[in-house]
Amino acid sequence: MFIGHFASALVARGLTEEAPKLGTLFVAAQLVDIAFFTFVILGVEHMRIVPGITAMNPMDLYSMPFTHSLLASAWWALAMAGFLMLKRRNAVAALWAGIVVLSHWVLDLLVHRPDLTLLGTPPKLGLGLWNYPLIEMPLEIGITLLAFWFYMRRTRGPVGPPLILLFVMFVLQAINWFAPEPTAYSIAIPLSALFAYAVLIALASWVSSTRWHRREVGLAVPTMRR
């Protein structure tokens, strides 16, 4: 799952103005994968390319105990929540950021082959929807569009920036789905993933600067936004 992970960020920001800004929540939504691909580059965690290992994804994610176990995801969630608690002194914002981080493991459980763990050691878990494109693709598109609709309904501001964000999300998802699959691992794989995350986080930060929650009134809303 790629853009589907951002659904939790859009929902969290739509639910309450106390949630972190959308750019921060986009970081939270993909923090586990950002850490994973960074660790792959550093040789801490490992992956290889095995064509056909699933119908939609050739990556064999055979060693990722520090990011893709449920325990590790919980630690990343606590780290994100703790950082925001220190920065914003807002327990609600910290809680929502942590929830969004942890949602990554739950969504991965749906699509991954059995390569996720609870504690970093077997048994390995995964429902394997990457083997069923006619289920996985509509599911990912559906939860993304539903979350985007919810975010738009719950916030105000110009529609141009969020539509650009949505367009870029689907362009990157289309590349992920339909571009020729790699046949061997190269450092370009983690680097391209990190680049895609950076682009979407930057766009989400821009969107956040142009929109505000419908419940924000008075001095909380700059005059130019009224």
Which residue range forms the structural domain that includes residue 103? 3-212
Query: Given this model, what pLDDT does residue 219 score?
Result: 39
Q: Does residue 9 belong to any structural domain of this protein? A: yes
Query: Given this model, what pLDDT does residue 59 score?
Result: 97
Query: Given this model, what pLDDT does residue 216 score?
Result: 62
Q: Does residue 221 belong to any structural domain of this protein? A: no
Within the chain, which residues score under 50 in pLDDT? 218-226
Query: Given this model, what pLDDT does residue 214 score?
Result: 75
Query: Given this model, what pLDDT does residue 223 score?
Result: 40
Q: Does residue 146 belong to any structural domain of this protein? A: yes
Q: Does residue 18 belong to any structural domain of this protein? A: yes
Query: Given this model, what pLDDT does residue 64 score?
Result: 96
Instruction: Tell me the C-alpha distance between 174 and 14, whole Å.
Output: 26
Q: What is the reported pTM?
A: 0.93
Residues 6+ apart with CB under 8 A from 195: none
Q: How many CA atoms lie within 13 A of 14 on its CB side?
A: 15
CB 105 within 8 A of CB 116: yes
Instruction: Tell me the C-alpha distance between 146 and 164, whole Å.
Output: 17
Q: Does residue 128 belong to any structural domain of this protein? A: yes
Cβ count within 10 A of residue 210: 15
Domain count, the chain: 1
Q: Does residue 224 belong to any structural domain of this protein? A: no
